[in-house]
Amino acid sequence: MESPPATSSPAPADLQPEPPWSAGLAAGLLVVLCLVVYIACLAPSVCGGDSGELITAAWDFGVAHPPGYPLYTLLASLFCRMPFAEIAWRVNLLSALCDALAAGLLCLLVARATQRSAAGFVAGGLWAFCELIFRYAVCAEVFALNNLFVILLAWLAFSYWQKPRTSLALWGAFVFGLGLSNHHTLLFVGLPMVAMVLWRGGRALLRPKIMAALVGVGLLGLSPYLQLPVAASQKPLHSWGDASTLEGFSTHFLRKEYGTFRLTAEKDTQASPISAWLQYFERLSADLQWAGLGVLLLGLWVCIRRPSKHAPFIWLAATAWIYLLVFQSLANIEINPGKVGYGVFTRFWQLPHVLLFALFGFGFAQLQRWLPGKAGAAWLLAVVLVGLQLGVHVPPVAASGNLLFRDYARSLLEPLPEDAVYLATGDVKSGTLRYVQGCLQVRDDVRVLLHPLLQASWYNALARHHFPELVFPGERYGGPGYSLLQLLRANPGTSFFCSPLHKHPDISWKQGYEQVPWGMVYRLQPLGDSLDIPAQLQAAGAILAHDALGRLEAPPRGTWERAIWNEYWIAVRTNGSYLLREGMLRDNRRDMLEMAARLYDLLLEVIPRPQYQSLKNAGIVYHTLQRSEADLAKRDRVWRLFLERAPADDPFRPKARQVLELE
């Protein structure tokens, strides 16, 4: 196969050539700007999603969820050992550094390809400060490192296309393998780039010795995976799977517990391809400030118009579409903007963003031809656009004061009695609890068991190793294994707490236990046991002590912050309702009713128009207490709101009208 002719990018005849150092200077300035902004907005503690789990795995030298992310874990472990700030902040800094370097490389790539440093600066700056990228540049996640590998591969592929050298191909193979030891989605970007390089290299790369060398250095890049069996053999508490055996390693590496190349273990869920494409273009348009989409299309037109000159960027654009096509056909998760799954899905759109923002740079370089003053006007426009991007997209996702997730984990643990067992459900709970217990040693006497993982035999073995005083009546939980009732009865005298079990398929616990609201969690209390009222009131008081979880402005739907906010107010309503009912059953026991009143006071202060059931309960408790004229005034106010919001057939409407003397 004949190799295509080498291409170069001479400066357009109507533009003065820039000094050779200008591209490097623009990239360096952008890296510094990104680092300053990212660090100023860096989350001070743990964040949502996988953040807590990844930090704790790095701190404990453990294994993260499949496929293990060993390169990220090793790098994060180094950042964990820095001698300042909270552990989470140190690992958050790794994300900031990776995305800042990625922005600089994107700037350098576009500037070298177009020979216009302003085009590189604006492409890298808009990318670095768009909402999708910025959100994950200020917290501990694997995506910033993944972005860095994408742009590094793109840079190596572009460099090879300009001047084919075996050394560049070998570096590309090594970087590809190394990137895969961070995140498997790099495969969907890397393979098209491999095809691009092989097409350009032709027979020179297809010789057996060269191919063997390429495969060898690629496998060398995967060497961080050796960390998995080493770490698993130490049996750290906050770890996942049993990669110490060949079968366990294979299961982990191939993500068999989720399904290889699938997002979740759900089998019957699938994203709508049309909806996914439309929502991606909506996200891309918003991140480019809408008008920028036209500049991107202009860049694509520039490349297509002169394919021999701009062939590398046509390849890179095609790579972005290939990635979207493959990923969105495999992703088995619903992308409803009002649900957390939307954020889980859309964070994988960062990879095509890297490549498509490069096309924006090409469009901007074309605009520079038409601007008066050329370079000066282009730089002024580039700085204005990046400044607008900072002002529009950064404030909503800046995380410099975000202690929500750390405080949330504390609110779950603090009211629990010593040596309690807490069956936790959900990513936001499991990650934050691992972090505050494993890294900050907050209430590490509480034995946290991740309820869904009890279905895995490896997790039961790990729990037995770390909690030998607990009895696990089988190899694993669920199905042919033991039930929740059997686990509870195998450990008499142990206080068990849980996340809500109302929708859980295992209802065996109802044969001998009841769920009692206990602050932000529930206690599994044996039927017939008397209620520990002082402890119950203390647990409800812990909700009030963490009122910052509910007082923040309602977060956007579909975020982890919104999930915590919703959970907090559910706890307020649930504990208030329970204390009201139990207090009235105990001859209007005053301390229980007064705690219920404090909870409803908070609810009505922050959410002036809550659900009508809460209004009804608040009216009852204020009417029953009648401590002062203020209580009666609050009672009358909530009854009026109740009559506005309650269905016409609600049986309590006549009572409310009677109290208000409206009959």
pTM: 0.93
pLDDT in tens, 389-398: 999 888 888 8
Residue 2 has pLDDT above 50, yes or no: no
- Amino acid 143: pLDDT: 97
76-114 pLDDT, tens per residue?
A: 999 999 999 999 999 999 999 999 999 999 999 999 999
Predicted confidence band of residue 246 (pLDDT cuts 50, 70, 90): very high
SS3 522: strand
The residue-averaged pLDDT of 215-237 equals 96
d(CA 542, CA 531): 18
pLDDT in tens, 253-289: 999 888 777 777 665 566 677 788 889 999 999 999 8
DSSP 211-277: HHHHHHHHHHHTGGGGHHHHHHHT--SS--S-TTSHHHHHHHHTTTTT-TT-SSS-SS----HHHHH
> In terms of Cα–Cα distance, which of 608, 419, 555, 399 is closest to 496?
419
Whole-angstrom distance, CA of residue 460 vs CA of residue 474: 9
How do residues 418-449 score in pLDDT, each as one tens digit? 999 999 998 899 999 999 999 999 999 999 99
Q: Residue 515: helix, strand or coil by DSSP?
A: strand
Peptide bond preceding 396: is omega within 30 degrees of 0, i.e. cis? no
C-alpha–C-alpha distance, residues 564 and 135, integer Å? 18
Contact 219, 44 (CB under 8 A): no
Sheet of strand 521-526, all strands in order from the earlier edge strand to the far edge: 447-450, 421-424, 496-498, 521-526, 513-518
C-alpha radius of gyration, the chain, whole number: 29
What confidence tens digit (pLDDT) does each residue in 168-215 have? Answer: 999 999 999 999 999 999 999 999 999 999 999 988 999 999 999 999
Q: Which residue is listed with tokens 């095809």?
A: 195
Residue 10 binned pLDDT confidence (cut-offs 50, 70, 90):
very low
d(CA 217, CA 518): 55
Please write the tens of the pLDDT for every residue from 344-389. Answer: 889 999 999 999 999 999 999 999 888 766 778 899 999 999 999 9
> What confidence score (pLDDT) does residue 663 get?
45
CA gap 151, 103 in Å, rounded: 9
CA atoms within 13 A on the CB side of 600: 30
The rounded distance, in Å, linking the Cα atoms of 179 and 157 is 15
Residue 609 has pLDDT above 90, yes or no: no
Q: Which residues have C-beta within 8 Å of that of residue 313, sequence separation ≥ 6?
A: 113, 158, 303, 358, 359, 362
Distance CA 267, CA 259 (A): 9
CB neighbours of residue 261 within 10 Å: 17
Q: How far apart are CA 536 and CA 554, in angstroms?
A: 28
Q: pLDDT tens, 296-310? A: 999 999 999 988 888
CA–CA dist 22, 486 (Å, integer): 70
Residue scoring higher pLDDT (661 or 49): 49
Residue by residue, DSSP assigns 161-180 as HHS--HHHHHHHHHHHHHHH
